[in-house]
Amino acid sequence: MILAQRRLCSLGSRTEFLKTIYSSKLLGFSTSAFWRLKAKDQRLSRVSSSQGLRGRICSTSLLSSGHFVAVFGIPWFVFASSKFLRKMSLKFKNSKRIEGLDRNVWIEFTKLAADPSVVNLGQGLPDISPPSYVKEELSKVALIDSLNQYTRGFGHPPLVKALSSLYEKFYQKEINPNKEILVTVGAYGSLFNAIQGLIDEGDEVIIMIPFYDCYEPMVRMAGATPVFIPLRSKPVDGKKWSSSDWTLDPQELESKFNSKTKAIILNTPHNPIGKVYTKEELQVIADLCIKYDTLCISDEVYEWLVYTGNKHLKIATFPGMWERTVTIGSAGKTFSVTGWKLGWTIGPNHLIKHLQTVQQNTVYTCATPLQEALAQALWIDIKRMDDPECYFNSLPKELEVKRDRMVRLLESVGLKPIVPDGGYFIIADVSLLDADLSDMKNDEPYDYKFVKWMTKNKKLSAIPVSAFCNSESKPQFEKFVRFCFIKKDSTLDAAEEIIKAWSKPKS
Amino acid sequence: MTLMAGGHPVFVSLKPSPTQDGELDSSSNWRLDPTELASKFTSRTKALVLNTPNNPLGKVCCQLSPQHLSRSLSRHPPHITAQTVCRTQVLSFWPGVLFLSPLPLRRSQQRPVALGGMFRKAGASLTRCLHHSLTMSKRLPARRLDGLEYNPWVEFIDLSKEYETVNLGQGFPNFPPPDFAVEAFQQAVSGDFMLNQYTMAFGYPPLTKILASFFGKLLGQELDPLENVLVTVGAYGALFTAFQALVDEGDEVIIIEPFFDCYEPMTLMAGGRPVFVSLKPSPTQDGELDSSSNWRLDPTELASKFTSRTKALVLNTPNNPLGKVFSKAELELVARLCQQHDVLCIADEVYQWLVYDGLQHISIASLPGMWARTLTIGSAGKTFSATGWKVGWVLGPDHIMRHLRTVHQNSIFHCPTQSQVAVAKSFEREQLHMGQPSSYFVQLPKAMQRNRDHMTHSLQSVGLKPVLSQGSYFLIADISDFKSKMPDLPGAAEEPYDRRFVKWMIKNKPRLPDHRAEWTHGLPPPQGLVAIPVSIFYSVPHQKDFDHYIRFCFVKDEATLQAMDKKLQKWKAELGP
């Protein structure tokens, strides 16, 4: 019993739970159930505006059995049986693979930013409209009855065909639509499929810090050990600080490889720094992958979003790399339709087939109408790849203006942002703003406190960069926060107003 | 090639003997150590590959005399066993050369390793152009995928496309969703452009809200939209999330046969051990129509499956493929056992609205004591005849749901927004019409009951013996008469009869090899109907006992049913009196 309670403790707010064990026991309640109610009440008082709970629980008198019955619908005396209690908490436990993986930065911070008065530069979702032809294609598809039903599990046939046609240009080889492409529930689903399909208990996976936050829990869920290597910045002195100043030390990188290394996860253009890996940098990684017989999971969801003077390169096109690389792309990032939740993985069949096995045992198939609309939209742009109108060319142009605006804005208040070469995020050291965080709880990294404080007091939200770090490296990045700039001008205006007003009293 | 055939290559090296200084080494100095060779033979050795003159060494194998070989072979007679399935991975070798390898091999545990030196020297590019495959000494797929590659659907779906068929196989409607749902979807995709972006991870708020209020009433629970509801990528995604969240290495999961086929691989992928218990048909009187309600669990047998390792039981009502709707008494039995043995219940209720003959669907979560240990899974695809939207959900107590949320946020994070908007709108509409004749949940089962009756009647007319379906999209039909009349349909010896029968039905005009000309006993070529063999809904050991049923989906439009009739009538005419 005690053991089970400890387990539960580790999953949630410890002190509260420990304190309440005895009282609840005396009253004959399941402690886990009691804790749950307690947690609910805390949350209620904290986010009372949360819409789902609004007006629901008027009686917060926790210990009334009436409330209890209302929640569980079973008589309270069922819970009073000590035998039932003991067994229940054990069987209702999570599987080991997800132990400790319950915390998530997005859940936490999107809840905070849900307040409509907050200017949201947090989560990477555009508030600009997707291109009109993309919306139109979906509207057209919604009129076709047969597209409301299941399609092929590994990808709607017209979509995998369009993807193969699009990417053949970049890989300079034929891509078999059925065997070398898998359509997934977002790039997130691609990452999950790749990691579950190829990574085993006891394997090691190299991840570069900072990293898109899901890499670590996904690797852990597969039973493997993440091995981290930080991107380090050169000193820049008076110059502009650029994402290209952040590099990997080749020797340090090589030291992370060993016989257990199963894969390395590469993310270019990089989230959150915005680094676009150069040919030389990718060659170093490719050489090590070959030398140590390692797979490469290449997350290239921002592949089209590179700014003047940079070029996105695919590591899978380096000699010897196609056969050991799976490359992940995203419709959400490609056409600014994150809500479609469509992504894809491209790679050799001997890798893709294992990802397909995962797919057929997880979601089986993705939404049909969205896949059809995506295929149609892709064809429009495939036919005009060199045209400036092509969204793959026009979106980065549009975003570059927004990036430059963000750089100027952040610099105007004395910050030194890291100018991204790609992606739609910009990070900056915000400790220079000297925010008074003394009211914030002290058990969190500086940037978590800062963002919560800023969201509450300045009505501006962002994402703490230490969320993109493993626990050891959080101190190195906790002064940074990430702003998303794929936002309409009025949103950026509002952000500008907040940031400028904030700096005034100081000067 | 060995690996492709599922074999396990076992390697033994030719070893060079030392040469005198300056002396030219010869391939004849490279020899096998007889003791080492003998040690490689085991009861599972099926074959030995001999290459002489040897490539690349040039050795002519005179030392490995026939006697030598036969001695080893007779001591360990190789025999066929299904257990020789290889669970390892070696890629990149010269086809056929490797077994008598001229170079020392790297080895790690049971894992044969690709040839070291030779291919290192040749360089990765050579290997690549030869095999288009990865030279990887590490095992490629994760172990959790062992044995899960095969999916029976792929084969039958492909076959149905290859031939001109009337498709009564896969379970999806070929008629449109109701107008209100179609309109809701059209609005969702052409209205507010922000619906093209992410929504909340655990479900679009208006959807979780309406699901909580709608199902709260049905389950007699007050549901919290944030804590008791999780929206998933179809009910399939819901099942996966539940298994990953709750089933650990070594846990046992009780699965009632026949079962929707994904329960087994999903349990295995989570490291669990499926434990099967079959619904058993009671004998029917001659000429009487069998009914899915005659298929019952033996209470003693069911009870015997519960052990201290049992973590969960999967209950599917209405059941796919049988169409059985579990009665209250049956559910109480399951509920009692779950509580007695402290077992979770994963209740797959995706066909809950499709119940016929005035029967009532009962959610096991609504039985006393069950809410706290039950996950109830539903599907918008089956609810609103829009399987392509891929929206499903799980309802359950927060102390279990929180684990599912952890899996969800580490696997897909969000579901598509617009489909969720359309489903929310459709449920809001249904809530207003609940119980009235205008409700889709009243109209759809009425219409499908007519389809079921139609199909039942048509199948009977050609001598198939349908089992009356009480619910779901499906009914199964007994083909044992055909099995006795024409037992030798083409197919692999090991292949269950129902699979061969379905293939035979699908293929319009199979070209028969002469020596099998009699297999149809004068019957005409099959008629291009697609059904699904029921044995795929059974665990391997039980497939033999249930290889004489096939599943038909009757959730099809009028034209499809008429096309079916035409095929069946032709079949009947050709069968003759």
Q: Is the pLDDT of residue B301 over 70?
A: yes
- Non-local (6+) Cβ contacts of B284 within 8 A are B290, B294
Give the model's pLDDT for residue A50. 38
Q: Which helix (H) or strand (E) holds B465?
A: strand B465-468
Residue A56's pLDDT is 35
Q: For residue A185, what pLDDT band results from cuts at 50, 70 and 90? A: very high
For chain A, say whether B146 makes contact (Cβ under 8 Å): no
Q: What is the pLDDT of residue B151?
A: 80
| B403: contact with A, CB 8 A cutoff | yes
pLDDT at A7 over 80: no
Find the residue in B nearest to A92 (Cα): B400
Which among A467, A462, A422 has a CA at the least distance from the CA of A120?
A: A462
What are the backbone angles phi and psi of residue A466, rounded to the nearest 5°?
A: -65, -15
Going by C-alpha positions, the residue among A128, A126, A125, A116 that lies closest to residue A459 is A116
The DSSP output letter for A458 is I
**Residue B110 pLDDT level (bands cut at 50, 70, 90):** very low
Report strand pairing: B391-395 vs B229-233. Answer: antiparallel
Q: What is the mean pLDDT of chain B?
A: 82
Residue A336's Cβ-count burial label (10 Å; 0-12, 13-18, 19+) is buried
Q: Could you give the 3-state DSSP secondary structure of residue A384?
A: coil
Residue B471 has pLDDT above 50, yes or no: yes
pLDDT of A135 over the 90 cut: yes
CA distance B424 to B365: 23
Residues of chain A found within 8 Å of residue B195, distances taken between Cβ atoms: 339
Query: How near does any CA of chain B get to the CA of A480, in Å?
Result: 24
Nearest by CB: A142 against B149, B154, B189: B189
Highest mean pLDDT among A83-92, A114-123, B40-49: A114-123
- Between strands B374-379 and B391-395, the pairing is antiparallel
pLDDT digits (tens, 9 = 90+) for B61-107: 654 444 444 454 444 443 322 222 232 222 222 333 233 333 333 33
CB contacts of B145 in chain A (<8 Å) are 197, 354, 357-358
Nearest chain A Cα to B137, which residue? A293
**Mean pLDDT lowest among A388-397, B229-238, B559-568:** B559-568
- On the question of pLDDT at B483 being above 90, the answer is no
CA distance B371 to chain A (A): 7
Two tokens at B332?
Answer: 């109480």
CA A166/CA A164 separation, integer angstroms: 5
**Interface touch B140/A354, C-beta < 8 Å:** yes
Condensed to tens digits (0 to 9), the pLDDT of residues A316-372 reads 999 999 999 999 999 999 999 999 999 999 999 999 999 999 999 999 999 999 999
3-state SS assignment for residue A311: coil
B120 pLDDT above the threshold of 60: no
B567 Cβ under 8 Å from any chain A Cβ = no
Interatomic CA distance for residues A91 and B246, integer angstroms: 9
For the cut 60, the answer to whether the pLDDT of residue B177 exceeds it is: yes
pLDDT tens, residue by residue, B420-445: 999 999 999 999 999 999 999 999 99
In terms of Cα–Cα distance, which of A192, A212, A231 is closest to A98? A192
Report chain A residues whose CB lies below 8 A from the CB of B245: 94-95, 98
For residue B38, what pLDDT is reported? 80
Determine what percent of chain A is predicted with pLDDT higher than 90: 72
Phi then psi dihedrals of residue B312, to 5 deg: -150, 160
Strands A246-247 and A232-233: antiparallel
Place of tokens 């490995």: B64
Q: What is the DSSP string of B113-177?
A: ---SHHHHHH-HHHHHHHHSS---SS--S-GGGTT----HHHHHHHHHHHS--EE--SS--SSPP
Mean of the per-residue pLDDT values of chain A: 84
What's the rounded Cα separation, in Å, for the pair A173 and A176? 10
| Structure confidence at residue B6 (pLDDT) | 58
Angstrom distance (rounded) from CA A100 to CA A107: 15
Number of other residues whose CB lies within 10 A of the CB of residue B483: 16
Residue of A149, A222, A339 with shortest CB distance to B197: A339
- Which of these, B365, B376, B373, B379, lies nearest to B415 by C-alpha position? B379
For residues B537 and B543, what is the distance between their CA atoms, to the nearest angstrom? 8
Contacts of residue B220 in chain A, CB cutoff 8 Å?
73
Q: Which two tokens stand for residue A12?
A: 């949630």
For A198, the closest of B141, B220, B247 (CB atoms) is B141
Crossing angle of the two packed helices A82-91 and A31-46, in degrees rounded to 10: 60
Cβ distance B39 to B80 under 8 Å? no
Q: DSSP for B487-546, please give it.
A: TT-SS-TTS-HHHHHHHHHH-SSPPPPGGGGGGGTTPPPP--EE-EEGGGGS-HHHHGGG
Rounded to an integer, the average pLDDT of A461-486 is 96
Six-digit token pair at B12? 């033994």
Can you tell me the mean pLDDT for B509-528?
44
- What is the mean predicted confidence (pLDDT) over B440-458? 97
**Residues forming a β-bridge with B315:** B347
Interchain proximity A293–B177, CB inside 8 Å: no
Measuring CA to CA, which residue among A321, A372, A309 is closest to residue A346? A321
Give the pLDDT of residue B107.
Answer: 31
Q: Is B413 on the interface with A (CB under 8 A)?
A: yes
Residues A96, B249: C-beta atoms closer than 8 Å: yes
Q: What is the mean pLDDT of residues B378-398?
A: 97
Chain B, window 183-202: residues with a beta carbon less than 8 angstroms from a chain A beta carbon: 185-186, 189-190, 193-201
Whole-angstrom distance, CA of residue A346 vs CA of residue A350: 11
Looking at the DSSP bridge assignments, the partners of residue A208 are A229
- Residues B143-152 have a mean pLDDT of 84
Alpha helices in B352-465 (DSSP H): 380-383, 398-409, 417-433, 440-461
> Any idea of the CA torsion for A301, A303, A305, A307, to the nearest 10 degrees?
140
Predicted confidence (pLDDT) per residue in A422-469, tens digit = 999 999 999 988 888 988 887 899 999 999 999 999 999 999 999 999
Q: Could you give the CA distance from residue B122 to residue B92 in angstroms, rounded to a whole number?
A: 12
Nearest of A153, A218, A215, A203 to residue A353 by alpha carbon: A153
Q: How far is CA B71 from CA A223, B41, B66, B79, B525, in A?
A: 46, 11, 8, 16, 52
Q: What is the pLDDT of residues A242-279, one digit of tens each?
A: 999 999 999 999 999 999 999 999 999 999 999 999 99
pLDDT, one tens digit per residue, over B213-262 is 999 999 999 999 999 999 999 999 999 999 999 999 999 999 999 999 99
- What's phi and psi for B533, nearest 5 deg? -65, 135
What average pLDDT does this structure show over B179-199? 96
**Could you say which residues from 470 to 509 on chain B have a Cβ atom under 8 Å away from some Cβ of chain A?**
none
Residue of A391, A340, A320, A339 lying closest to A166 (CA atoms): A391
pLDDT in tens, A8-31: 333 333 323 222 222 232 333 333
Q: Which of B137, B197, B369 has its CB closest to that of A125?
A: B197
Interchain CB contacts (distance < 8 Å): A and B: 288
Q: Residue B88 class from Cβ within 10 Å (0-12 exposed, 13-18 middle, 19+ buried)?
A: middle
Among the ranges given (A54-63, A493-502, B138-147, B425-434), the one the predictor scored with the smallest mean pLDDT: A54-63
pLDDT value at A305 more than 50: yes
Given the DSSP bridges, would you call strands A325-330 and A295-299 parallel, antiparallel or unpaired? parallel
Instruction: Return d(Cα B288, Cα B275) in angstroms, integer.
Output: 33
- CB-nearest partner of A367 from B249, B262, B388: B388
pLDDT digits (tens, 9 = 90+) for A140-168: 999 999 999 999 999 999 999 999 999 99
For the segment A29-52, the average pLDDT, to the nearest whole number, is 37
Identify the CA nearest to B56 among candidates B103, B90, B91: B103
Buried b (16+ CB within 10 A) or exposed e, B529-563: bbbbbbbbbbbeebbeebbbbbbbbbbbeeebbeb
SS3 track for A7-66: HHHHHCCHHHHHHHHHHHHHCCCCHHHHHHHHHHHHHHHHCCCCHHHCCCCCCCCCCCHH
What pLDDT is stored for residue B384 in this prediction? 98
The owner of tokens 């452009």 is B193
**pLDDT given at position B160:** 76
pTM for the full predicted model: 0.79
Q: Which of A98, A139, A358 sits opposite B403 (nearest CB)?
A: A98
CB-based contact B143 A200, cutoff 8 Å: yes
Q: Are B555 and B451 in contact (CB under 8 A)?
A: yes
Mean pLDDT, rounded, for B502-520: 55
Which amino acid appears at position B342 of this protein? D
